[in-house]
Amino acid sequence: MSTRLGNWAARHGHAFVSTLGHLSRHALATALTVIAISLALALPLALGLLVNNIRSLGGTLDESLGLSVYLKPGVTESAARTLAMQVRAHPGVRSVTLVSAAQGLALLRAQSGFGAALGSLTDNPLPNVLEVHPTPAAATPQRLDALRTALAALPPVDAVQLDRDWALRFNAILSVAREALLISVGLIAAGVVAVIGNTIRLEIQGRWAEIEVTKLVGGSNAFVRRPFLYAGVLYGVCAGLLGFGIVLAAGIALARPIAALSAAYGGHFALQGPGLRELGVLVGVGAVLGWLGAAVAASRQLARIEPRAG
């Protein structure tokens, strides 16, 4: 048993080493194939990471989901402060921030670029505003609606705006992006199988004389197919590694601009790059697709060599 196992290991080792040798003797062709496949594998990984990052960005935005409570023009800042205390005691409310009319004007001056025009105003036209943030448990559409009704019923309140529509749209866009990603993963997987299949087909044709002789001296189909299957898997694994490297490099290159962008919006968003899990998935998927492409090409080609009845 152990010698059979040893023979088995020796055979596969031999096939693996001879395949490595063959691929390295044709280094340029091998490199071009691997690069093409790695780009195909890198694309869905990059898209997937993009969707994940945007979703996590949405997660931090969920926390800023809230209601803007506009108070009537006559309500003074101190009355607003008292009201803020009352609202804070309301169940389902996590925090209340008062943006006074003066603060609002100052923000508008600073951010909108209308500083000069606003400076000509004698009166402040802005109302005092309470930014109300719900507790996570209260952040459901129904409870937010109930909270809005309750706040709108308070005498000093002019209007309540629920910042929810954008969140719904955001989620809808994200789910479209996820669907598109799944479809593209399927298409790209088929493309990778086709590319590897075609590469292996050409390789088989290039080594046709060798295959014929091997079969003539008693080589089984499994024996003839073995080095090509190894080649397919090697293409897939190398392309997976390279594709991961490409996405990793792109992530590193993007990290600084994104940090700068995030800082400009007062956030602290950091790009989540690909990790070990993604590396494993990409290499594994590459290996499986490579094997599949090689198996399809090899079985189709080898079927041509069987004896014909005529």
Partner 1 sequence: MIRFQRVSKRYPNGREALSELSFEVPAGEMLFLTGRSGAGKSTVLKLIALLERPSRGEVWVNGQNTARLKARRIPQFRRGIGVVFQDHRLLRDRPVFDNVALPLVAADVSFREIDRRVRAALDQVGLLGRERTLPLELSVGEQQRVGIARAIVGKPPLLIADEPTGNLDAALASEVLDLFARFSAVGVTVMIATHDLAWVRSSGRRELRLEGGTLPVAPAEGALPADVEALMSPARP
- Nearest partner of 15 among 222, 279, 167, judged by Cα: 222
# residues contacting partner 1 (CB under 8 A): 23
Q: Is 3 in the site for partner 1 (CB under 8 A)?
A: yes
Helix H or strand E encompassing 65? none
- Phi first, then psi: give them for residue 95, nearest 5 degrees: -155, 155
Q: Is 29 in the site for partner 1 (CB under 8 A)?
A: no
Helix H or strand E encompassing 133? strand 129-134
Q: How far is the CB of 297 from partner 1 (least distance, A)?
A: 19
Span from 7-15, 113-121, 263-271, 283-291 in contact with partner 1 (CB under 8 A): 7-15
Q: Is 223 in the site for partner 1 (CB under 8 A)?
A: yes
CA angle 260, 261, 263 (to 5 degrees): 65
Q: Is 35 within 8 Å of 179 (Cβ atoms)?
A: no
Q: Which residues 191-220 are close enough to bind partner 1 by CB under 8 A?
A: 209-210, 212-220
Query: Which residue number, 4 or 277, has a Cβ lying nearer to partner 1?
Result: 4
Q: Is 264 in the site for partner 1 (CB under 8 A)?
A: no
Q: Is 137 in the site for partner 1 (CB under 8 A)?
A: no
Helix H or strand E encompassing 50? helix 27-63
Q: How far is the CB of 31 from partner 1 (least distance, A)?
A: 20
* Location of structure tokens 């390295």: 24
Helices 276-302, 221-264: inter-axial angle, 10-degree rounding: 150
Query: Which residue number, 209 or 276, has a Cβ lying nearer to partner 1?
Result: 209
Query: Which residue number, 1 or 209, has a Cβ lying nearer to partner 1?
Result: 209
Torsion angle of C-alpha atoms 36, 41, 47, 49, degrees rounded to 10: -130
Cα–Cα distance, 244 to 189 (Å, whole number): 16
DSSP one-letter code for 113? S
Decide: helix, strand or coil at residue 273: coil
Q: How far is the CB of 23 from partner 1 (least distance, A)?
A: 14
Q: Is 24 in the site for partner 1 (CB under 8 A)?
A: no
Q: How far is the CB of 295 from partner 1 (least distance, A)?
A: 17
Q: How far is the CB of 210 from partner 1 (least distance, A)?
A: 5
Q: Is 111 in the site for partner 1 (CB under 8 A)?
A: no
Which spans of this chain sit near partner 1 (rule: CB under 8 A)?
A: 3, 7, 10-11, 14, 209-210, 212-221, 223, 306-310
